[in-house]
Structure 1
Amino acid sequence: MGKRRIVYRLIGMFIAFALLITVPMTFTILTQVNKIISEEEELKSPESEEYSKIHKEFTSRLVEQVIPYVFYILIMALMLSMLFARKMLVSLKELQRGSKAIMDGDLDIKLQAAGDDELGAVIGAFNEMASSLRQKTIDLQKKDIYVNAMLDPLWVVDEANRVTDINPAFTSLFGYSREEIMGASIFDFFDEHNAAIVRGQLKDRRDRGLSSIYEVNIISRDGSSIPVLISGSPIMTAGEITGKIGIFKDFREQRQLRNELQRSKEYVETVMDSIEDQLLVIDKDFRIVTANKIAFTNSRGPVLGEFCYAAVHDSIRPCWAEGHECPAQTVFLTGANFRTIHQHIGPDGGKRFHEIVASPIKDQSGNVQQVIELLRDVTDRVLHEADIYLKNTELVTLNSISRLLSSSLRADEIFSTVLDRMIELIKMDGGGLFFIDEKKKDMVCHYHKGISDEYVRMIGRIRLGEDIPGKVALTGQIITTSDISTDRRIERSVMKYSGMKGYCCIPVKGKERIIGVFCLFSFKPHTFTVEEESILVSIGEMTGIALENIKLYEKMRELYEHQRQRREQEQAQLLSLTTKLGSATDLRYILGRVMEQVREICSADYSWMLVRGGSDDFLLKASSNPSEDIGRVIFTRGISSIEGYALEKRAPVVITDIRNETKFFIPPEVSGVSYHSALAVPMLIGEKSVGVITLYYLGLREFRDEELHFLRIIANMLAVSLERYDYYIASINEKSLSETILQSVADGIVTVDTGGRILAVNKSFEQMTGISPEAGVGMPLCDTLRYHDENTDLCLILGESLQAALAGNKNNRDAVMMTPRASKISVRISSSPVLGPDNTVTGVATLMRDISREKEIDAMKTEIIRSVSHGFRTPLSAIVGMTEMILEGDIDETKEKQYLSVILSEGMRLSDMVSDLLSIARIESGMERIRPEQFDLKDFLDELLFSLNTAIEKKQASVRYDIGGVSVLYADPGKLKQVMLNIIDNSLTFSDPGCHIDIRVKKSDTDIEIAIQDTGWGIPEEEMPHLKERFFRGRHGEKVKGSGLGLFLCSEILRLHGGGMDIRSVPGQGTGITIHLPHREMP
């Protein structure tokens, strides 16, 4: 554009100079030519050929002379133009220099303008262009950096759809290098399907210069197909499209997510379509975004994109414009769920009802974006509910009237109120109630409303069969008319011309007859529905029953007064019986008095009470005759009697005439007296039969139901009294037995409540702790045992035991207690929870057993076991040692016999010890049995002493016996010999050499006594109580060999015989043992 302006400027200067020279010259030439022509015309020469020739050639000669002149003028103008354009050439050179610099890449060049003319402006524009080019170059460099730094692939495409550039991300994703892809057609990277998509986008968008976004698959360098999202934009140059740039988004994850979303969408659509109700999703414009299958089926037009009120309700206006609540609008405003029922007109023109549940769909910020509406057709339900409501209204009215009729027995109050309710229910203007007078065969109006008294007096009495009320009273059928004045069915009626229109007459029916009629009227026409007629008939029937109830009530009041007086008498009689039974100390005497009173109450001549005995016999328990033999058998088992039949039926049995009765056995006590009638009443407690009360009458007697009922009350009351008396006696016996058992237990027993306070103690506990029931009950158990400082640990252990038991756990604990006598004993505390009926812990039962002796015995047993082990080891060592010496043969014959004698002696001692242990084991296990037989006592003693001869001689003792006239003895000789050997051996063992042993036998009335007295060392008094205990050896046991089992074994053998033994001893004077055996004869 600048070059054109410069050329135009040069041409302009040239033309200007040419015009400045040529125009004046031209005017001068023209003036001369015109002068010549004028002069030539003035000559008036005749036309000649030469004249014509000269005249014709004038113009051409003139032109030939002017052209050189003009050429020189133009040359002069050109030279003048170039002279004046020298300044413009300087500017052009400056522009040439700038152009060369730009072509060399020097964008920082700045040209100097020669002036302010157009070329100066061009130079200024060139400078601005160079600066702008430099800035854009910098921007392009930055953009190139940005493009290369892009994470998304990018390519540039020319108009021929060939790649002209890519960024590194393209190579990273697809694997193509820049050299491989430059100049390649973009369609080489797509399959046919995706190439078609790209062509369509290019054709549709690029030709119009529009951007586009579309999804395709690109074939990567390794041949795999990669899904991408292409964002394409045209490259515009001078308003023309010169290429296109495409940015690729790796769409693999998005496609997978989209596929999952698509599956989820399909699943949701499947779920939506499976819902039988209409389901809609509505946007903020109240247009339907999506819907389920049933919504499309129910709609008569399009659904998606339509307004919800148009698609669902066929309405042209939204719900709120019609004055209804719009669920979607409410949810959009509140953000909460909303439920309502909408009414609209269905395709058939009828009313339809939809229950709509609307719920919000919110974004992450909690803003409601869409609304889900669930529409359920509830037309049938709504109509059903409306029908139910109508029926319920009728029922409420009937119930109100029924409650009114049943709440009062005042006729004036009932019937006037019922008449008012009927008028209100049917919306009448008035009415009346007529009652039938059976004697006069007419009806009288007793209650009225909406009409004057004068009119009532005029029509107040109507004969049966006349007019509408009379016909209804006679037929019992309701009569209704919408307009009595025009009803042709009604010809003669005083109401026809009274101004009444709507009219009905309802019969008031009792149980068996019609009592009266209700009349209702309206001054406007009224059509009575079937439901109204049904309600009116029901009210009439209820009113009739209420009227009869009122009359019945009057009769009942009279009967009630009579029954009240009778009940007072019965209550007085029952009170008297109850008083007697409640004060019973001598049951036999009280029951006799009660039977006498029953006889008097029932006006009987004789009464008795029979109860079943242990063998199901009937025993006489009480009688109105005090001289009867109480307790004797009246009927044995299997005999058919009135009493047995009454118990079998569990109901009173009435015998009108005993004398003609052949079914039942009549006892002589009854048949001997001329009794005529009898009544047997069973005595029952639930399902249990206790006995029978029988009343006998000399005359003929019939019984009313109230009398039978009263007698049953008396019989059951007596049954309860007998049962309670038996329970009372049993409970006393049980309590006495329990108390006896508790007090007989050798261990101390104490019971406490949940607070640890004493409830009860037994005698053993009192003896052990010194705490009596009077002093201990109500006191904390642990506090009562703190009478000595050394019982502190005992209280702690006892407290732990009680706490464990209160937690429901049985437990045993050992402790040491200081008794009130200042002696220490070892006790075992056993606590157990006491459970109530609901299985909750109500207290604790604690048993305290003195285990001091057990601990001593355990210690003694340990010592005895050690001693027995030592006793076994000593003889065994001797036996083994002497046996080895004999086997080695290093001793002479005399020593050998001596050693063998010792081995025999020690072996016998071991045998005796084992025999004693085995005998004790058999006795304690219950396997030991005695085999008694009769034997000669003298022979027995001789044999016994012979077996002890060696020991007697060794001890230089003298043993004598005196059988005292007892020649034979009945016992187990082997066991008795074992006893005697143990006793005499002890006498020899615990005596000095030269001792004396006397055996004396004596017979008494019940047993035989064998007394053995020695002159040995004697036994200390403190050891006497322990002599019969196992393993007890005493102080002298340390000096001699033994196991401590002898006397215990003797005691057990004598116990098996049914006898025993007594031990007496004085230290230093000897010991005496007396054996007691039952005196028995051989069977």
Structure 2
Amino acid sequence: MKTLSIRQRVVFWYTAMLILIAVAVFLILRFSSGSQAAAYVSETLHHAAAAAMDEIDIDEGGLEIDHDINDIDYASVMIYDNSGNIMHYGRIPDFDLDFREGEIRRVTGDSGRVWHVYDTLYNVRGDVYVWIRTCMVLDSVINVESYSTRVFLWMIVPLALLAALGGYYITWRAFRPMVRITSTARSIADGDDLTRRIGLIGQKDEFGQLADTFDQMFSRLQSAFEQQKRFASDASHELRTPLSVIRTQCDYALTRGGEADKTQALNVILQQTERMSGLVNQLLLLSRMDSGTQAIQKETLDLSSLMESVADELSSKSAERGITIHKDISPGLYVYADELLMMRMLINLIENAIRFGEEGGYIRLRLKKDGGFVRGSVEDNGIGISEKDMPHIWERFFQADSARTAHNTESSSGLGLPIVKWIICVHGGGISAESTAGHGSIFRFYIPIAAK
């Protein structure tokens, strides 16, 4: 059975159940008709025996049988004396059958007909006893039972065939969407074409729901593979640039003999190495994020103090571009979070504001309590983000248009904001961004406040 397909098993069980139901119905009808026939025979023979008793009497010392006994036409009646001699013959075959009081027996006569025989010992008067034997034959019932059995045996074969064909057609119609699902999935697996869809439009049954689920899964897989391809391409591009710079500077240092030239080349190599190291660390963090292996060590953390520390640490970097950091941070705001991840989140947001802020401009840092959350924001008055770029800022390796990238010489990997969003979300919070090109950006986030 396990080697059969689901459709074959359904057809087999469907056919088997129909045959079993047909057999059960036939047996119930046979049993019911047999019970009714037995009840009818018993009642008729008892009634005939009682009617015969009314026609037997003793007159002038002798036994007298009234001729009205012949009017009992619904059963044959024979009267025997106590010694078994026939006193009245009622068209019954001469059975070689002993007498049994109160028992209905089935006996086959000389012609092959089946008789139902009932014997009654009747006390006429005093010590005078007679045997009353009533008999009847139910040829019609027996013929009907035999005929119905033959008909059933002849019909069971076409019935089974019809059930099998009907079951096959029903399962073929029912499983047709499954064949389409399997074919589409196999073609995707064989041809690696994730753009194909099953598309069972308008079908709301279980197979339609399964097809919709598969289509959604294929869409997510397509998006994931495309993102993976972009990720690999962008990572290669980001790593190729500092490697090219390092190689160029090495050639420059080797071909120039001056100490000043070598020192300058080494400084550039160090800068690019630090950039590569930061990029590799970000890639490793993203990899651990995707695989779910990034260790998160949560503790009750003073986010106010941490934001103050990060702002102070980056103040020298902002001063290089003449950017002033304004702080509006409420003290003593605690969250249950990983300190290193929170620090990475704040560094990424503030460094972004410095990198793309207006020279001589400002950055505003805010942190307030709002109900059960700590809400913060990082605002700058820099170049902002265009409307067409806003939907993509959370994508990995995404960088805005050339004007944004060319604003300063320090390039961005495009990984900072995706990491920020993951850190916020993994701590049960959320983040959003508002920006207008040429007028600056503001990033707002919230994190659940730590339980006391």
Judge same fold: TM > 0.5, yes or no: yes
The CA deviation string for residues 96-116 of structure 1, in whole angstroms up to 9 with x for no partner, is xxxxxxxxxxxxxxxxxxxxx
SS of 1:904's partner is: helix
Match of 1:913 in 2: 279
Q: CA deviation at 1:844?
A: 9.8
Match of 1:882 in 2: 249
2:54 pairs with 1:444 = no
Equivalent residue letter for 2:294: E
Q: CA deviation at 1:1065?
A: 1.0
Structure 1 segment 715-754 matched on structure 2, within 5 A: none
Match of 1:980 in 2: 346
Equivalent residue letter for 2:382: G
Equivalent residue letter for 2:424: L
SS of 2:441's partner is: strand
**Structure-2 change in CA distance of 1:846 and 1:936 (3 Å):** closer
Structure 1 segment 934-945 matched on structure 2, within 5 A: 934-937=300-303, 939-945=305-311
For residues 961 and 1050 of structure 1, what CA distance do their matches in structure 2 show? Answer: 20
Alpha carbons 1:935, 1:973 under 8 Å: kept: yes
For residues 1045 and 549 of structure 1, what CA distance do their matches in structure 2 show? Answer: 107
Match of 1:542 among 106, 110, 117: 117
Equivalent residue letter for 1:870: H
2:425 pairs with 1:1051 = no
For residues 1032 and 975 of structure 1, what CA distance do their matches in structure 2 show? Answer: 21
Instruction: Name the TM-score, length of structure 2 as normaliser.
Output: 0.57
For residues 540 and 967 of structure 1, what CA distance do their matches in structure 2 show? Answer: 105
2:289 pairs with 1:926 = no
- Determine what percentage of the aligned residue pairs are the same residue: 23
Structure 1 segment 812-851 matched on structure 2, within 5 A: 812=185, 828-829=197-198, 846-847=211-212, 849=216
Alpha carbons 1:992, 1:1016 under 8 Å: kept: yes
Equivalent residue letter for 1:1080: A
The CA deviation string for residues 304-359 of structure 1, in whole angstroms up to 9 with x for no partner, is xxxxxxxxxxxxxxxxxxxxxxxxxxxxxxxxxxxxxxxxxxxxxxxxxxxxxxxx
2:440 pairs with 1:1073 = no
Structure 1 segment 1025-1036 matched on structure 2, within 5 A: 1025-1036=391-402
Equivalent residue letter for 1:1043: S
Q: CA deviation at 1:983?
A: 1.1
For residues 439 and 861 of structure 1, what CA distance do their matches in structure 2 show? Answer: 117
Q: CA deviation at 1:1030?
A: 2.8
Q: CA deviation at 1:888?
A: 7.1
Match of 2:332 in 1: 966
The CA deviation string for residues 608-666 of structure 1, in whole angstroms up to 9 with x for no partner, is xxxxxxxxxxxxxxxxxxxxxxxxxxxxxxxxxxxxxxxxxxxxxxxxxxxxxxxxxxx
**Structure-2 change in CA distance of 1:953 and 1:896 (3 Å):** farther
For residues 412 and 940 of structure 1, what CA distance do their matches in structure 2 show? Answer: 109
Q: CA deviation at 1:1070?
A: 0.4
Match of 2:374 in 1: 1008
Alpha carbons 2:177, 2:207 under 8 Å: kept: no
Equivalent residue letter for 1:960: H
Q: CA deviation at 1:951?
A: 3.4
Structure 1 segment 203-214 matched on structure 2, within 5 A: none
**Structure-2 change in CA distance of 1:811 and 1:943 (3 Å):** same
Q: CA deviation at 1:1071?
A: 0.5
Q: CA deviation at 1:1080?
A: 0.6
Alpha carbons 1:434, 1:447 under 8 Å: kept: no
**Structure-2 change in CA distance of 1:542 and 1:808 (3 Å):** farther
For residues 298 and 116 of structure 2, what CA distance do their matches in structure 1 show? Answer: 103
Equivalent residue letter for 1:512: E
**Structure-2 change in CA distance of 1:473 and 1:857 (3 Å):** closer
Match of 2:157 in 1: none
SS of 2:414's partner is: coil
The CA deviation string for residues 964-994 of structure 1, in whole angstroms up to 9 with x for no partner, is 2336554322101111111122222223432
2:365 pairs with 1:999 = yes
Instruction: Name the TM-score, length of structure 1 as normaliser.
Output: 0.26
Alpha carbons 1:958, 1:995 under 8 Å: kept: yes
**Structure-2 change in CA distance of 1:1014 and 1:1023 (3 Å):** same
For residues 222 and 207 of structure 2, what CA distance do their matches in structure 1 show? Answer: 34
2:82 pairs with 1:474 = yes
For residues 303 and 277 of structure 2, what CA distance do their matches in structure 1 show? Answer: 27
Alpha carbons 1:1002, 1:1009 under 8 Å: kept: yes
2:269 pairs with 1:900 = no
For residues 351 and 424 of structure 2, what CA distance do their matches in structure 1 show? Answer: 17
Match of 1:764 in 2: none
Match of 1:1063 in 2: 433
SS of 2:330's partner is: coil
For residues 372 and 85 of structure 2, what CA distance do their matches in structure 1 show? Answer: 111
Structure 1 segment 539-578 matched on structure 2, within 5 A: 542=117, 544=119
SS of 1:930's partner is: coil
For residues 932 and 843 of structure 1, what CA distance do their matches in structure 2 show? Answer: 44
Q: CA deviation at 1:1017?
A: 0.9
**Structure-2 change in CA distance of 1:438 and 1:1003 (3 Å):** same
For residues 846 and 434 of structure 1, what CA distance do their matches in structure 2 show? Answer: 82
Q: CA deviation at 1:830?
A: 5.3
The CA deviation string for residues 1023-1043 of structure 1, in whole angstroms up to 9 with x for no partner, is 323322333323256546333
For residues 118 and 219 of structure 2, what CA distance do their matches in structure 1 show? Answer: 93
SS of 1:998's partner is: strand
For residues 55 and 207 of structure 2, what CA distance do their matches in structure 1 show? Answer: 74
For residues 398 and 344 of structure 2, what CA distance do their matches in structure 1 show? Answer: 19
Equivalent residue letter for 1:874: T
The CA deviation string for residues 260-303 of structure 1, in whole angstroms up to 9 with x for no partner, is xxxxxxxxxxxxxxxxxxxxxxxxxxxxxxxxxxxxxxxxxxxx
SS of 2:365's partner is: strand
Match of 2:234 in 1: 867
For residues 319 and 365 of structure 2, what CA distance do their matches in structure 1 show? Answer: 17
SS of 1:1022's partner is: coil
Alignment: residue pair count: 335
Alpha carbons 2:297, 2:338 under 8 Å: kept: yes
Alpha carbons 1:1013, 1:1071 under 8 Å: kept: yes
Q: Where in structure 2 are there 5+ consecutive unaligned residues?
A: 1-36, 71-77, 88-92, 121-130, 136-169, 189-194
The CA deviation string for residues 147-177 of structure 1, in whole angstroms up to 9 with x for no partner, is xxxxxxxxxxxxxxxxxxxxxxxxxxxxxxx
Alpha carbons 1:434, 1:446 under 8 Å: kept: no
Equivalent residue letter for 2:281: S
Q: CA deviation at 1:831?
A: 5.4
Match of 1:266 in 2: none
2:384 pairs with 1:1018 = yes
Alpha carbons 1:875, 1:910 under 8 Å: kept: yes
SS of 2:81's partner is: helix
Q: Where in structure 1 are there 5+ consecutive unaligned residues?
A: 1-401, 415-432, 450-468, 480-503, 515-531, 551-752, 760-801, 815-825
**Structure-2 change in CA distance of 1:506 and 1:933 (3 Å):** closer
Alpha carbons 2:421, 2:431 under 8 Å: kept: yes
**Structure-2 change in CA distance of 1:842 and 1:983 (3 Å):** closer
Q: CA deviation at 1:1011?
A: 1.1
Q: CA deviation at 1:1055?
A: 1.2
Equivalent residue letter for 1:1064: E
Q: CA deviation at 1:1019?
A: 1.2
